[in-house]
């Protein structure tokens, strides 16, 4: 499965996106955990962890996982990525913290939210960087 004559295969993009996703999750969880340890409110710690991870994610995915569409300027690409990241990953992880935090604990709830959001995020990242849906 390839996207075009000069492009990486879809499988390669998925593997690369997954590797970046693991690094993102570690960045997000580290920032989140450290902030919790210092007594930061869970949802604010989630916001700051997400922000650090989404900045790294865009940088890594736009240079290594995907090929940015020539007709899509960097600023617009980042805005798409950031906006979708806010809706998907920040929304899902915050929702998981609120819905599950009291039942399973804050950190397990955060991890659950990250896993759920990862699946949707691949398509969103591909659209925001490559201007493709599938």
pLDDT tens by residue, 41-82: 999 999 999 999 989 988 898 888 887 677 778 788 888 888
What pLDDT does 76 receive?
Answer: 82
For residues 76 and 47, what is the distance between their CA atoms, to the nearest angstrom? 22
Pairwise pLDDT comparison (111 vs 119), residue with the higher score: 111
Q: What is the CA radius of gyration of the chain?
A: 15
Judge residue 40's burial from the number of C-beta atoms within 10 Å of its C-beta, 0-12 exposed, 13-18 middle, 19 or more buried.
middle
Please check whether residue 21 is in contact with residue 56, taking contact to mean a CB–CB distance below 8 angstroms.
no
Q: What are phi and psi of 9, to 5 degrees?
A: -70, 160
pLDDT beyond 50 at 1: no
CA atoms within 13 A on the CB side of 39: 0
The position carrying tokens 């890594």 is 60
pTM equals 0.76
In the DSSP assignment, the letter for residue 72 is: S
Domain locations in the chain? 10-130
């Amino acid at each position: 499965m390839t996207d075009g004559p000069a492009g990486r295969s879809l499988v390669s993009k998925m593997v690369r996106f997954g590797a970046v996703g693991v690094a993102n999750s570690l960045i997000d969880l580290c920032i989140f955990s450290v902030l919790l340890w210092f007594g930061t409110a869970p949802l604010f710690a989630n916001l700051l962890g997400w922000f650090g991870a989404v900045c790294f994610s865009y940088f890594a995915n736009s240079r290594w996982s995907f090929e940015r569409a020539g007709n899509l300027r960097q600023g617009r690409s980042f805005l798409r990525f950031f906006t979708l990241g806010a809706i998907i990953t920040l929304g899902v992880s915050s929702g998981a913290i609120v819905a599950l935090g009291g039942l399973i604990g804050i950190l397990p709830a955060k991890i659950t939210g990250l896993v759920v959001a990862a699946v949707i995020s691949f398509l969103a990242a591909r659209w925001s960087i490559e201007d493709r849906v599938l």
